[in-house]
Structure 1
Amino acid sequence: MATLYQHHLLPLQRLPNSPRRPPPRLRLPTKPSRHHNRQLRPRAAASTTATVSAMEDFRRWLASHGAGDGGKAIPAAVPEGLGLVAARDLPRGEVVAEVPKKLWMDADAVAASDIGRACGGGGGLRPWVAVALLLLSEVARGADSPWAPYLAILPRQTDSTIFWSEEELLEIQGQCAMQKFLPVVVCWDLSVTFMLLLSLAGTQLLSTTVGVKEYVQSEFDSVQAEIISTNKDLFPGSITFDDFLWAFGMLRSRVFPELRGDKLALIPFADLVNHSPNITSEGSSWEIKGKGLFGRELMFSLRTPVNVKSGQQIYIQYDLDKSNAELALDYGFVESNPSRDSFTVTLEISESDPFYGDKLDIAEANGLGETAYFDAMRDACKSALADYHTTIEEDEELSGRENLQPRLAIAIGVRAGEKKVLQHIDGIFKQREEELDGLEYYQERRLKDLGLVSDNGEIIFWE
């Protein structure tokens, strides 16, 4: 993503041969969200802020369970929503929060809960689904839940695109209602033609958002039929898709990236830490370690990656490798850093091609695999740009306006970034064509392998 011409080898994907089914009607909450600082970003840009009494209850709850580390960091209301504020000057690498495992919402917590007992320990569910059901069941318990003070401070939604209204999603919708595929000739041999697939149905963020919502809907339909409807005592009232989507959004935005999959866990208190683009290191922000007698009690330990003055907010770097589209989807913010802009282009060879093997061999010889994904920076294709309903210049003018709504700012940032990337795709392939004379032809390499041609291309004769 950070280089102009980077590719990643992935398994072959077949060319599409059937139209994509239309996305479901999007039914999202439409509560307005607060304006946030555009550089320092919250883990999940909250549309609501916890009350003072809720924050006091939360602090008391943490203290009663031994969470924290000598009061070095205080959960507090900050411009971004909620965050961690330094109670004193903190040097780089200082532990600012420790959270015992008994407070985590993870697979072990699921197994020990009524949800786990109803689902056979939860082992048959996807980890995120199991924790999402635990989250919803504990919310349903209200004040009786052992996590009640934590649940009370969670936002109703974030600025993640999965919570956007249909009107807001139009800001990342292109003018084209169909998906188009543009053939582009990329020759490493005179007989080789690859297919460049470009989705022109709006920004890639839009298609990803719709795809994620479809996936969450399918998981909800499954657990609704198999678990929720058969365990009414665990889910009093009605659990809707919007409820399930909220739980998914909380996990997506608050779980530390390395704690996903089978290790997925919500870490109360530590998950309040916000993101800053000014922090460019990830490695020293946190660890899980043993504590207590013989180190048997697991503890999540959060460190500050930079020096922090008393009263200042503590920040970390969420993920250096995420694009702006991924940041918008997961957390509900984007950065102005152009290195976060990306557009994924797929080069494919159809398996039905009679020369599939030869073409694949040629591609691999030139540094490509069966499928190559180019996370091209500032790359473009003019034919794709026509499907955006604004120009880069118009987006730049809009982004400079005061009091811009956060979700509109996200939409402008993502689509402008994609367009800047698209502007250079044509240039990349033009440059590649200009380099053809310097590339080794397939036949020539075969002859070299047989010892019939020298390294400088001359035919070898025998006496």
Structure 2
Amino acid sequence: MASSLCFLSSLSSSSLLYSAKCLKPRTLVRPTKAFSVNALSSPDDHYSPSASSPALQNFWQWLCEKGLLSDSSPAVKPGVVAEGLGLVAQRDISRNEVVVQVPKKLWINPDSVAASDIGRVCSGLKPWISVALFLLHNKSRLDSQWRPYLDILPHTTNSTIFCAGQKRSFQSYKINHSSSITSEEIAWEIKGTGLFSRELVFSLRSPVSVKAGEQVLIQYDLQKSNAELALDYGFIESSSDREAYTLTLEISESDPFFDDKLDIAESNGLGETAYFDIVLGRTLPPAMLPFLRLVALGGTDAFLLESIFRNSVWGHLELPVSRANEELICQVVRDACKSALSGYFTSVEEDEKLMEAGNLDPRLEIAVGIRAGEKKVLHQIDKIFEEREMELDGLEYYQERRLKDLGLVGEQGEIIFWESK
């Protein structure tokens, strides 16, 4: 699900271009990692072999033959779990213990696609597309070396692009996600097999202690929104930390101060376009208001763009510049929120009733959950700037701050005029 909107407002000679999207454009084309994880959304909706099925037994044997697991005393073993397939501990596993190591020769990524018999025709394609074509090609071949792995893949998933896990790269295991794991530590790494060895392996660790017979789980990514979880893995979470909306702000190329504004933005780690993730229940990102004020800067406030202020202008932008500037950004953001909300055909309350009824198709339930979260965040953003509009008369702006610095404002806020004797 995505919504987009673009507004152009002007204040004297300045222009403010604002757009809002529920997903960053780069979400769809982010660089491919060498290895990834897959998630099955429900064993009832997708193909899920039983623990004793020939496909799973064949896969187990294939893993042992490839040296990925020890046939005698493996730490983990593929098994049937609530999510479909997963890794089940065969003994007690301690926190951060390595449970799986996959050599590079068994990675399926753009490099392996390029080296295959379809590499030439996949050249120039997006990484996830080339990997998806590689899997489809191998699935059509009965003699494929990847046959044991392909035979246990789900026929469908609940990803919003209908190929969760196929968007990046593929693994030989099903390592599932747990929302209860909140460690920021990454559960995997790519490293050499020995002190002098050049062979790379994908090494997977258990982020928590696991008892024998329990499933080994990891945290996919604490920073992903529900929209991104749905896109990448085919599920969402009920946590408000996952409910987010990404605002895309741009410096208009038609702005007469475009070059100066771009230079200031780049000097402070931003660019012509800036993405700000707004999470439900959290404050606005620190750089969002300064960037908004920069984009809206113009008229009598344009003196701040002069080179003499270049090293200090961002500090000034972190505080209100002028009433006109602050009022403009409030109006534009609020108008954009209202327009984005008008693009939805249901209210938050209606979405919550649909989910409470519990009779939605799994994919529809995911979509309703995402849009409900987006609307909550849009209402939150609108409320923040509505309250700011009400405070405009009481805010202290650049001119007042400057007069105070020069000692030209009295204790009651009156301006002091110095007379020459």
Structure-1-length-normalised TM-score? 0.60
Verify the 8 A CA contact 2:76 2:99 in the aligned structure 1: yes
Residue 353 of structure 1 deviates from its aligned partner by 4.3
Q: Say whether 1:146 aligns with 2:50.
A: no
What residue number does 1:214 align with? none
Q: Distance in 1 between matches of 2:111 and 2:268?
A: 48
Q: Are 2:385 and 1:429 aligned?
A: yes
For 1:42 and 1:98, how far apart are their aligned partners in 2? 16
**Distance apart, 1:433 and its partner CA:** 2.4
Alignment correspondent of 1:390: 346
Aligned-residue offset at 1:306: 0.8
- Which residue number corresponds to residue 57 of structure 2? 56
Q: CA deviation at 1:162?
A: 2.0
Change (3 A) 1:365 1:48: same
Alpha-carbon distance in 2 for matches of 1:443, 1:108: 58
| TM-align CA RMSD | 3.9
Aligned to 2:87: 84
Q: Quickly say closer, same or farther: Cα 1:82–1:370, change in 2 above 3 A.
A: same
Offset of residue 428 of structure 1? 1.0
SS in 2 for 1:105: coil
1:251 corresponding residue in structure 2: 166
Mind listing any 5+ residue stretches in structure 1 that lack a counterpart? Answer: 1-11, 17-40, 164-245, 256-264
Q: Which amino acid aligns with 1:324?
A: N
Higher RCO, 1 vs 2 (CA within 8 Å, ≥6 residues apart): 1
Deviation at 1:371, TM superposition (A): 4.8
Q: How big is each residue's C-alpha offset from its partner over 1:25-63, in whole Å with a ceiling of 9 and x where there is no partner?
A: xxxxxxxxxxxxxxxx96242622236111111110000
Q: Which residue of 1 aligns with 2:134?
A: 134
- Tell me how far apart the structure 1 counterparts of residues 269 and 388 of structure 2 sit (CA, whole Å): 13
Larger Rg belongs to: 2
Q: What secondary structure is seen at the aligned counterpart in 2 of 1:399?
A: helix
Taking the aligned partners of 1:101 and 1:368, their CA distance within structure 2 comes to 36
Q: 1:112, CA displacement in angstroms? A: 3.1
Find 1:328's aligned residue among 230, 233, 253. Answer: 230
Q: Measure, in 2, the Cα distance between the counterparts of 1:78 and 1:286.
A: 22
**Structure 1 residues 132, 362: CA separation in 2 closer, same or farther (over 3 Å shift)?**
closer
Runs of 5+ consecutive residues of structure 2 not aligned to the other structure:
1-14, 20-36, 282-333
Aligned to 2:170: 266
Distance 1:370 1:447 in 2: 33
Quickly say closer, same or farther: Cα 1:113–1:347, change in 2 above 3 A. closer
Distance in 1 (alpha carbons) for counterparts of 2:249 and 2:407: 31
Taking the aligned partners of 2:176 and 2:243, their CA distance within structure 1 comes to 21
Q: Output the amino acid matched with 1:146.
A: Q
> Which whole-Å CA distance do the structure 2 matches of 1:293 and 1:445 have between them?
61
For residues 395 and 203 of structure 2, the distance between their equivalents in structure 1, rounded to whole angstroms, comes to: 52
Deviation digits for residues 340-360 of structure 1 (CA, Å, limit 9, x no counterpart): 111233444544345667988
Give the share of equivalent positions with the same residue, in percent: 57
**AA matched with 2:371:** R
Pairs within 5 Å for 1:61-140:
61-68=62-69, 70-116=73-119, 118-119=120-121, 124-140=124-140
Q: Deviations over 1:159-212 (max 9, x none)?
A: 01223xxxxxxxxxxxxxxxxxxxxxxxxxxxxxxxxxxxxxxxxxxxxxxxxx
8 Å contact kept, 2:176–2:217: yes
1:364: Cα distance to partner? 11
Given that 1:274 and 1:315 are in contact with CA atoms closer than 8 Å, whether structure 2 keeps it comes out as yes
Deviation at 1:154, TM superposition (A): 1.2
CA distance in 2, matches of 1:405, 1:160: 13
> Is the contact made by 1:42 and 1:81 (CA closer than 8 Å) also made in structure 2?
no
**One-letter amino acid of the counterpart of residue 72, structure 1:** A
- The more displaced of 124-133 and 421-430 is 124-133
Matched, 1:310 2:212: yes
Equivalent residue runs for 1:196-345 within 5 Å: 249-252=164-167, 255=168, 265-269=169-173, 272-291=174-193, 294-345=196-247
Q: Is the 8 A contact 1:48 1:155 kept in 2?
A: yes
Structure-2 change in CA distance of 1:293 and 1:281 (3 Å)? closer
Aligned residue number for residue 41 of structure 2: 45
Taking the aligned partners of 1:367 and 1:288, their CA distance within structure 2 comes to 29
Go from structure 1 to structure 2 and tell me whether the alpha carbon gap of 1:352 and 1:159 turns closer, same or farther (over 3 Å shift): same
Whole-Å separation in 1 of the counterparts to 2:16 and 2:141:
46
SS for the counterpart of 1:279 is coil
Q: Secondary structure at the match of 1:301?
A: strand
Query: SS at the partner of 2:202?
Result: strand
- Cα gap change, 1:155 to 1:317, in 2 (>3 Å): same
Write out per-residue CA displacement over residues 278-301 of structure 1, whole angstroms, 9 at most, x where no aligned residue.
Answer: 111242411122226832332211
Decide whether the 8 Å contact of 1:447 with 1:453 is kept in 2: yes
Query: Match for residue 234 of structure 1?
Result: none
